[in-house]
Amino acid sequence: MPAELDYSFQAMGSEVRLLIASPLAPTAASPLAAADREKAFVLDFGSRLSRFRTDSELSSLNHSPLERTPASGLLRRAVRAGLWAAARSGGLVDPTLVHALERAGYDHSLKDVAPASLSDALRSAPARRAAQPHPAELWRRITVNDELGYIERPPGVAIDTGGTGKGLCADMVARHLSAYTRFAVDCGGDIAVGGVGAHFNPYMVEVEHPLTGRSIGTIAVSAGGVATSGLNVRIWSRADGSFAHHLLDPSSGEPAWSGLIGATALGSSALEAETLSKLALLLGPDQAREVLAQQGGVIFHEDGTAEVIGPVRGSVTELAVAQCN
């Protein structure tokens, strides 16, 4: 069996990795040519949808004084993905929290900024509670019209596609690679897997502990998606000495402290997996178990224990409750 192409590059503030096996048809591009093509797509995707670039399509939308703004197909698709995640999560994965993120300190890319200590942040964090949706539910007032090519939103409402963008991107690249026997697309930890070969030879995806950075084992993925959300990825200290991270409680606009520090979720797509991992982390341990029960996942408690939930295959199942050392 020919070796699978392993191809990596930097985009969207993280590493993107493509694994591509042989094509199903002789007319398909070589794995390397396909990888080069998808790299160009991902780089374009990231530049057009970045809220940190003043010249991006997303920034133009957010700064437009119009309620109804013309939008490209890509931007409409990204906003629709954010609205889907909001509906799927009951409003907890909310794409309208841009101003709250900026107030918390996430008003610039943190790509090259070393994260603050998660252990220190946990010691000074406020009382733990499950996140709740914002009562105004502004995301419900955003409309995407594909027939006429516009996005309509209330004046002043800014949209963040970052919460779902990497999952959407992974899924789009995966669809582009459907002509290959086996493939995996990893966009900064949001992973889409496909190809008939993956059903016979699943990808073993490592699960990293948010406190130690070490792998606690692997999850076998033969189709669909897997994603991880963790407080350790983007966490920083504020001027007043408090700590903040990028996963906000919509009801308060402040970082969510639910009793969990990380969650890995399986889903039918990378977008769904990303949404479920965020939802589980925002809700806290008890409700996270309900969120992950059907498709499976892993949650990480503040004391370092990792709990495997639902139909998960792979070596992590040997660690039903794994204490972090």
3 vs 6: CA distance, rounded Å:
9
By percentage, how much of the chain surpasses pLDDT 90?
Answer: 78
> Which residue type, as a one-letter code, is found at position 184?
A
What's the domain count of the chain?
A: 1
- The C-alpha R_g of the chain, in whole angstroms, comes to 19
Q: How confident is the model at residue 276 (pLDDT cuts 50, 70, 90)?
A: very high
Which residues are 249's β-sheet partners? 254
Q: Among 113-122, 124-133, 201-210, which stretch is predicted with the lowest mean pLDDT? A: 113-122
Which residues are 255's β-sheet partners? 248
Q: Structure tokens of 209?
A: 């502990």
pLDDT at 325 (0 to 100): 34
Q: Looking at residue 304, what DSSP letter applies? A: S
pTM exceeds 0.75, yes or no: yes
Q: Would you say residue 321 has pLDDT above 50?
A: no
Residue of 129, 89, 98, 272 lying closest to 191 (CA atoms): 272
pLDDT in tens, 217-272: 999 999 999 999 999 888 888 888 888 888 999 999 999 999 999 999 999 999 99
| Averaged pLDDT for residues 49-57 | 93
pLDDT at 2 (0 to 100): 60
Q: Which domain holds residue 89?
A: 5-322
pLDDT at 162 (0 to 100): 84
Residue of 284, 323, 280 lying closest to 305 (CA atoms): 323
104 vs 169: CA distance, rounded Å:
26
pLDDT at 233 (0 to 100): 83
Q: Would you say residue 130 has pLDDT above 90?
A: yes
Q: How confident is the model at residue 318 (pLDDT cuts 50, 70, 90)?
A: low
pLDDT at 316 (0 to 100): 87
DSSP 123-134: HH----------
pLDDT at 1 (0 to 100): 46
pLDDT at 254 (0 to 100): 93
pLDDT in tens, 175-223: 999 999 999 999 999 999 999 999 999 999 999 999 888 999 999 999 9
Characterize the bridge pairing of strands 297-301 and 306-309.
Answer: antiparallel
pLDDT in tens, 63-74: 999 999 999 999
DSSP 69-94: EE--HHHHHHHHHHHHHHHHTTTSS-
Q: Would you say residue 6 has pLDDT above 50?
A: yes
254 vs 105: CA distance, rounded Å:
11
By percentage, how much of the chain surpasses pLDDT 70?
Answer: 95
pLDDT at 323 (0 to 100): 37
139 versus 321: the higher-pLDDT residue is 139
Q: Structure tokens of 5?
A: 């192409």
| Averaged pLDDT for residues 31-57 | 96
Q: What are the counts of helices (DSSP H) followed by strands (DSSP E) for the chain?
A: 9, 18
Give, in degrees to the nearest 5, the angle at Cα 81 between 80 and 85: 115
3-state SS, residue 5: strand
| Averaged pLDDT for residues 71-97 | 97
Output the domain CATH number for residue 67.
3.10.520.10
Q: CA end-to-end span of the chain, whole Å?
A: 40
- Strands of 106-179 (E only): list them: 143-145, 150-152
Quote the mean pLDDT of the chain: 92
Residue of 152, 128, 11 lying closest to 68 (CA atoms): 152
pLDDT at 243 (0 to 100): 87
